[in-house]
Amino acid sequence: MRSLHPALLALHGVLLLGACDGGCVPGEWSSGALLYPHRRPVPSSPPPGARSIELAGDGVTLRGWSYAAKGTRRGALVYLHGVGDNRASSTGVATTFTRHGFDVLAYDSRAHGESDGQYCTYGYHERRDLRAVVSSLPEGPVILLGSSLGASVALQAAPEIPRVRGVAAIAPFSDLRTIAEDRAPAVMGAADIEAGLRHAEQTAGFDVDVVSAARAAARITVPVLLVHGADDTDTPPAHSRRIHAALAGPKELILVRGVGHNQALGADIWRRIERFIIRAAARRGGEP
Of 19-23, 107-111, 150-154, 251-255, give the lowest mean pLDDT range: 19-23
pLDDT at 275: 98
Report the distance separating Cα 219 and Cα 226, nearest Å: 16
How are beta strands 75-80 and 102-107 bridged, if at all? parallel
pLDDT at 26: 39
Q: Which residue has the higher pLDDT, 191 or 25?
A: 191
DSSP annotation string for the chain: -TTT-GGGG----TT-----GGG---HHHHHHHHH----PPPPSSPPTTEEEEEEE-SSSEEEEEEE---SS--EEEEEE--TT--GGGGHHHHHHHHHTTEEEEEEPPTTSTT---S---TTTTHHHHHHHHHHTSPSS-EEEEEETHHHHHHHHHGGG-TTEEEEEEES--SBHHHHHHHHS-TT--HHHHHHHHHHHHHHHT--GGG-BHHHHHTT--S-EEEEEETT-SSS-THHHHHHHHH--SSEEEEEETT--TTSPPPHHHHHHHHHHHHHHHHSPTT--
Q: What is the pLDDT of residues 32-50, one digit of tens each?
A: 568 998 899 999 999 999 9
Q: Is-above-0.85 flag for pTM?
A: yes
Task: Report the mean per-residue pLDDT for the chain.
Answer: 88
Amino acid at 246: A
Across 90-109, average pLDDT: 97
Across 250-255, average pLDDT: 98
Q: What is the pLDDT of residues 127-179, one digit of tens each?
A: 999 999 999 999 999 999 999 999 999 999 999 999 999 999 999 999 999 99
Of 140-149, 244-253, 256-265, give the lowest mean pLDDT range: 256-265
Across 206-211, average pLDDT: 96
Report the distance separating Cα 216 and Cα 8, nearest Å: 23
pLDDT at 13: 33
Across 199-203, average pLDDT: 92
Residue 7 has pLDDT above 80, yes or no: no
Right CATH for 6-12+22-282 from 3.40.50.2000, 3.30.70.1450, 3.40.50.1820, 3.30.2310.20: 3.40.50.1820
Across 223-233, average pLDDT: 97
pLDDT at 288: 53
DSSP annotation string for 207-243: -GGG-BHHHHHTT--S-EEEEEETT-SSS-THHHHHH
Residue 8 has pLDDT above 70, yes or no: no
